[in-house]
Structure 1
């Protein structure tokens, strides 16, 4: 017996299966596009809607693990509350059973036909037909992989060592553990269920012995979300933990009713059902029962998890919202991207608000804080830009190209403002604190007035991130011209005070003019965000 041939066929079949799932997922996500944002807002307002959204999300990703990771991101980005998302997580369990139902069809003979038809539409079809072709291609590769695994397992019936190992699976707890570990390793419950289907189809394990393995997949699929939550916010950690809690509790209950579960599945499936269909139905029964059992208690479970994982003080800065998986889902990524850039903007706004504190309140510690904040801004810029570059490599639509350009522009302008504060203004502040000079009363009032105008202009720029409204951008341009004229008039007033007899502005004059110019630059960079919204090419007048 050629053991190497068996191993190659099994691994190759599994690889094709996972590749097919990836193609299927990519095609479905492309078809869904930006409609996902509307679906998110519409469905998650109720528990039933949350379950439906979880089913849909898992269908798109063809993986409850990936869907769970995305939901952790939604909670991190505060697009959904922790409690609100629990129903969605239950829905992801049902969603993955649909994939199991799909792979239970015995159409391996026609798999290569699916590959050919799918590739034709993917390569030569227009946009929507191309996406549909990717779905058909994915199905063909998936079923061909299943067929390879099935034929590769046939010789295993003659290997005594393998049959001896399978005898250990008669222990339900050990079978659950095996299902958990294997699913966690390949990060796909559907793929492991496909393996179990081929084992039963070849008579290597019976249906009763396969059920605990199915239970194990439901725990193993939570591992990916747990790993993704390590650098997540507290809410993200709570969600991943609650998801695992649901699965473990469901398995803990069902393992006592294996006989009843098997009988119920047999009654639903009817006579002469195939082994694969029976297991797919069993998987569906388990997840539907678990969802119906736990949905009424999501609020109570949420409160319990909050007590298990309580607040522990302020968390260090991390870039949490833009998960790598979102690069493959532009329609889902957009609200995360906006939230990330908005948070970066809020940090820059805070820096601008505190920028003159060392001059008026003579607080040296504020300089260190501004520089620490600037390091965080640099982290935002680097990570967001990396995400946008990767997104641009995958998404070629004109609409998304405009969005990517806009976000790159906004991030650059925000980083420029942060540099002005942390480098130029901070350097002036250090020199200022080394001396005992002060601004004149009129000069201090003017600086505070113009400083407040810059804060308002930057706030207007951040509000543009929500909807890119040209009307708001035009208002910013009008304000910019007004503020530019105001800065000029303030500079003239300063020179008049400087030339007046017994002037108190002489020693502080250089710092006053420098700060006024730096604030004017901040105003200009903030307004550039508005200009970008209008997609204008000309530069603003300085």
Structure 2
């Protein structure tokens, strides 16, 4: 084999290895989707349990980067806290060593055979689960096959004087080796690829066991790039998770790098060959790091929390006007009305944004709608808590009831947007459906009417004006008639067998119904205003 062919074989081996990793990982996710959800539900402040969760998740997903990216997403959604995920982060580091352990065994010569057999099985079986299992086996076959190609390439290239000189220069400056492998790992998003390449180079005699340890260090730090990238544009919780992962890996390397020679001697003493030695060193390095840093998790969380603070726009949402120590009932009612108007503005913005999801589905906007629904829930809860204690005071019952009814209706309207309209938009996007031009025009017409009603409704509540309240009720009746007319228009399009209308019929009618529900909810308080003026 010529040196050019050897270089192509080496690079091809890296590509096959990476493709195999992705294939196995994707289908393991599908096979173990429910198991992943179950494991995520077991994350808790008990870090020793979370470590095992991290190990299992990484074994299932075959990527510590994928697990930490998932943790960043959960952090952004504020589903988990930094303290809860620290154990998982430590566990992912240990779990990621399993793939390297597998490829260190002398099974590379069977890689192509495993791939070929699994490929044949994939086309024979019909059911989805056996197909996914065959795909996982194809992925592992490609991992072993890719490693064999990498080994074949490095065996030839070890005679190349330029390559040997380049690696000798790198080996003389091990910190540069670590920095380059860190960047390379960040580029390929896989520590297993980098360590697998190091094993091939070491087996071919191009680098020593001691040199390979700096590849291990770089691969461990570089794998944090996936989570750091996932944290871009996220909130402070996601950033804390990503940077906690980064500093844990950097800290692990800084603690052990000064003992590299002694560490290599220790591992070499019980390893059968240099390939097994690198795999064992990778595993032992991460286990030692877990043992050393486990007691310092609370301190690490405290430091990360101190230095990675929320921006002003990320401050936790809370009530603005209600105060706990106010004893004057009329002041509390006035404060509650201001919070109710704030709540109304949030719901109004949610309704305004809902139509956008049907035009161009946006994941960030769906997340924002969910966040605002949580804000509405919080305001509703706080307003009720402050008003319930006043309900026993004579003469205030009607004012309190009006406020509670209004905020309850707003909370229900927010639920319609979040649980109803958002779900329907997601379904339309998932099924890749499009409304007909006439159908879309009808939906936007009803939507515009609901927005106008919303503005009128908020103004009538704020001013407690009887004339405005009567306009709200009149507007609602107009919208009911419009909604019935638009339903008839849709049925007429179905009779014409209009393709888009037939495909989107269920979603279209449900959207009309949800807008009708919102119009009813935001009108209810108008009847109370009219009743109060009698």
Q: TM-score, normalised on structure 1? A: 0.65
Where 2:313 maps in the other structure, the secondary structure is: coil
> RMSD over aligned Cα, in angstroms?
4.3
Change (3 A) 1:299 1:45: closer
Matches within 5 A, 1:428-447: none
Report the equivalent of 1:488. none
Report the equivalent of 2:475. 514
Report the equivalent of 1:333. none
Between 283-292 and 38-47, report the one with greater CA deviation: 38-47
Report the equivalent of 1:229. 231
Matches within 5 A, 1:398-477: 451=406, 454-455=409-410, 457-458=412-413
Where 1:158 maps in the other structure, the secondary structure is: coil
Distance in 2 (alpha carbons) for counterparts of 1:136 and 1:87: 30
Distance in 2 (alpha carbons) for counterparts of 1:228 and 1:511: 46
Report the equivalent of 1:124. 124
Change (3 A) 1:446 1:511: farther
Distance in 1 (alpha carbons) for counterparts of 2:348 and 2:364: 25
Deviation at 1:121, TM superposition (A): 3.3
Distance in 2 (alpha carbons) for counterparts of 1:5 and 1:292: 45
Distance in 1 (alpha carbons) for counterparts of 2:78 and 2:294: 21
Matches within 5 A, 1:51-130: 51-125=51-125, 126-130=127-131
Report the equivalent of 2:314. 315
Where 2:42 maps in the other structure, the secondary structure is: helix
Deviation at 1:72, TM superposition (A): 0.6
Tell me, yes or no, if the aligned pair for 1:25 and 1:59 is still in contact at 8 Å: no
Change (3 A) 1:538 1:14: same
Distance in 1 (alpha carbons) for counterparts of 2:124 and 2:197: 34
Change (3 A) 1:371 1:280: same
Matches within 5 A, 1:348-359: none
Report the equivalent of 2:430. none
Distance in 2 (alpha carbons) for counterparts of 1:368 and 1:451: 13
Kindly indicate whether residue 24 of structure 2 is the aligned counterpart of residue 27 of structure 1.
Answer: no
Matches within 5 A, 1:363-378: 377=354
Report the equivalent of 1:419. none
Change (3 A) 1:463 1:237: closer
Change (3 A) 1:103 1:311: same
Distance in 2 (alpha carbons) for counterparts of 1:7 and 1:537: 59
Deviations 1:219-277 (A, max 9, x none): 111122112111111011111111111111111111100122112212342xxx12211
Deviations 1:17-74 (A, max 9, x none): 0111111112221221212222222354521221111112222222222221111112
Where 2:233 maps in the other structure, the secondary structure is: coil
Report the equivalent of 2:381. none
Distance in 2 (alpha carbons) for counterparts of 1:245 and 1:446: 53
Tell me, yes or no, if the aligned pair for 1:454 and 1:519 is still in contact at 8 Å: no
Change (3 A) 1:452 1:174: closer
Deviation at 1:16, TM superposition (A): 0.7
Change (3 A) 1:449 1:52: closer
Distance in 2 (alpha carbons) for counterparts of 1:25 and 1:387: 26
Tell me, yes or no, if the aligned pair for 1:62 and 1:99 is still in contact at 8 Å: yes
Tell me, yes or no, if the aligned pair for 2:354 and 2:417 is still in contact at 8 Å: no
Where 2:167 maps in the other structure, the secondary structure is: helix
Deviations 1:476-530 (A, max 9, x none): xxxxxxxxxxxxxxxxxxxxxxxxxxxx9678644441156669999xxxxxxxx
Where 2:158 maps in the other structure, the secondary structure is: helix
Deviation at 1:165, TM superposition (A): 0.8
Tell me, yes or no, if the aligned pair for 2:62 and 2:96 is still in contact at 8 Å: yes
Between 192-201 and 450-459, report the one with greater CA deviation: 450-459
Between 182-191 and 283-292, report the one with greater CA deviation: 182-191
Matches within 5 A, 1:331-342: none
Deviations 1:68-97 (A, max 9, x none): 111111211222211110111111111111
Kindly indicate whether residue 278 of structure 2 is the aligned counterpart of residue 279 of structure 1.
Answer: yes
Distance in 2 (alpha carbons) for counterparts of 1:281 and 1:383: 50
Tell me, yes or no, if the aligned pair for 1:114 and 1:140 is still in contact at 8 Å: yes
Report the equivalent of 1:206. 208
Report the equivalent of 1:189. 191
Where 2:41 maps in the other structure, the secondary structure is: helix
Report the equivalent of 2:439. none
Q: TM-score, normalised on structure 2? A: 0.65
Matches within 5 A, 1:257-272: 257-269=259-271
Aligned residues: 404
